[in-house]
Chain A
Amino acid sequence: MTMKILVPVKRVVDANVRVRIGSAGGVDTAGLKMSLNPFDECAVEQALRLREAGVASSVTVLTCGRPVCQDVLRTALAMGADNAVLIDTANASPDSLGIARLLHAFITADTDTDTDTDTDTDTDAYGLVLCGKQAIDDDIGGVAAMLAALLGWPQALNASAMEAAARGWLVTCGDDAGTATWRLDGPAVVSADLRLAEPRRVTLPSIVKAKQKPLRTVDASTFNVPLGTQIRIVDMAEPPVRQPGIKVADTTALLGAIGSGRLFQNVGA
């Protein structure tokens, strides 16, 4: 028996859009270009590669949000995911923990129904949750770790490389301080950084094909998960406008200006 991969994704404002604060006090995205979160795109790509290598039988993409979020699911389907699920949260705005709980409930329910002769006819269970390390809108990066805790699965965050191992996964994670390779036994949660896998391009035929692929909507309320948020936004403000530079006459003046600006205050360990 092989396994399925679940890739939770998020619809975010495109990386090339300069976001602004709207009259309602939040970030105004009306009419602006929305995209599949870039880190999630890498996760989808890695999942597809694992499926193509025969490690997994199928890739499911899932997002939590309003029906409009189906567009990023279609993008992922066009990339090559097999099926998609929208957990419709209607007007609720769950925080990271709420999303993790929804994902946990979804995975648990799916595993349970696999033993029945439900609508789900395949017998594989989810053996890997692969997601982006963070969404580029709120940059919190909390869901993967929270989900791993709820599932009781091992986790590896900010993965830059991964491969299937005898009983699980070998995952290389790292940051500026160095890299470490972890062995995760059994089903696991892995979050991707941009190095994990360069996303493939959506092709015109795949866009057409994606329309035929199953995209299921599940009402979030069926999971009995609290969808409120524990986060309260106190204030939101545009970043301060950058001040113009200064011109200096010569090197001495330049060194003086650098010195007086205390530019190197936080440099060095």
Chain B
Amino acid sequence: MSHYDFIVIGAGVIGASVAHHLAALGAKSVLVVDRSTIGAGTTSQSSGLLRTHYSVRQNVELARSSWHAFNNFADYVDDDEASCGLVKCGYMICAPEGDKLAPLQASLDAQQGMGIEVQLLSKAEARERLPIAQFDDAALIGYEPEAGFADAYLVATGFARSARRRGVKIMENTTVTGLVRDGRRVTGIETSAGTFSCGALISTQNIWTPELAGWIGVPLPVKPERHTVLALECDAAPYTFNMPAFKDLGSPGMLYFRSYGGSQMLVSEGVVGETLNAPETEQGDISLDYVGEVGAQVAERFTAYEMAGLASSWTGVYDVTPDWNPVLGPVGDIEGLTVGFGFSGHGFKLSPGIGKILAQHALGHASDVSLAPYSLDRFASGALLVGKYGSGAVS
């Protein structure tokens, strides 16, 4: 039986980031196992938005340290050829009069208080940056220049390549079937490719986390939720790469937007999606009625898109917790186990920071950002990390 000091379950963007950071922080013997291939699960379905705008302060911290990694990705993984596909187009968020206005003001204030550059734009300034939209109803418009979007699959493979270069072994198409325990301590994993022992186990199993819950007999509150993304095409109003990603708190679906391929519009709802009975990443059904409903919302803000065509559509799955924020750290009194799950649709933008603090925790180091607010216990104690915008991936 092979032994590794650290075993990571899952080679999505979080698991790959954990593996990179473990090795970069000095871990000598690391194994990563994935049921499929690197970044092929929910990672590959990410819309890739990068921003530090959050209503939960800890998330701002993690997003800020992660942005640094994205913005200097080749340096960060020490590989001249590495790229995260960053499009640094900025991020604009707007709210009309109503219940979203005060939370937006508070979140923008908090970001500024933390030294993050956030500009408040007039309607005219907003139109200058995003001329294909109208802002007649906007009561408050915030703009972060240090934001945009990147490619989650590239980041996962970039971290994985860095990890491998540093000696990490990554086994793809290897399914974990159970844990090896010694009393309260996790000492290894059983897989479709044999049993491996470890000093510490890090689970980044995303929507498959309930499997872990079964192995350890501890309920872990996470549900797979399917979300739909549309790519719209409107020749009269192309959404170019120099137009910012945009969050419309005034739309019923709290829509987010970004350029797709430099001319199309990627749009998706930022509210609760369709809960699945079982974890799976297969493409879900998208009805024409749904396209029509979202399209009508889009056309309210982007009037030319009234005539838009549907270029493509797909679905992605979130691992959602009751408060739409991740669980990071140990589980109860189980020794040798660190978990990271429940990223609730905003894991990618935090992935470098989360990979680092999970690695630090597994190594017994002090972590850059405290794990305490993200502990599993919060669901019992009631100290939830509920975002001020309600349920949804802004948190």
Contacts and interface: CB of A to CB of B under 8 A. Distances in A.
Contacts of B307: 203-205
A31 B299 contact: no
Interface stretch (B78-86, B132-140, B310-318): B310-318
A78 interface: yes
Contacts of B292: 204, 207-208
B282 interface: yes
Size bracket of the A interface: 20 to 34
Contacts, number: 61
A32 B309 contact: no
Nearest to B310: A202
Interface stretch (A14-22, A131-139, A256-264): A14-22
B110 interface: no
Interface residues of B, number: 26
Given A17-B282, A203-B308, A205-B307, A33 B288 contact: no
B276 interface: yes
Contact of A33 (B276, B299, B306, B315): B315
A219 interface: no
A207 B288 contact: yes
A14 B285 CA distance: 9
A182 B284 CA distance: 41
- Dominant secondary structure of chain A at its interface with chain B: mixed
Nearest to B232: A204
Contacts of A247: none
Q: Which of B276, B288, B298 neighbours the largest number of chain A CB atoms within 10 Å of its CB?
A: B288
B319 interface: no
A31 B284 contact: yes
B312 to A, nearest CB: 9
Given A17-B282, A33-B283, A203 B309 contact: yes
A210 B283 CA distance: 25
A75 to B, nearest CB: 6
Contact of A201 (B276, B284, B310): B310
B233 interface: yes
B285 A207 contact: no
Nearest to A201: B309
Contacts of B381: none
A208 B295 CA distance: 10
A207 B276 CA distance: 27
A71 interface: yes
B283 A204 contact: no
Contacts of B295: 204, 207
A78 B291 CA distance: 12
A225 B292 CA distance: 37
Interface string B291-306: 1100110110000011
Given A71-B287, A71-B288, A18 B308 contact: no
7 contacts: A16-B283, A17-B283, A203-B307, A203-B310, A204-B295, A204-B310, A207-B291
Closest 3 CB pairs of A and B: A201-B309, A204-B295, A33-B283
Given A201-B233, A204-B295, 9 more contacts: A16-B314, A32-B283, A33-B284, A71-B287, A203-B308, A203-B310, A204-B306, A205-B306, A207-B295
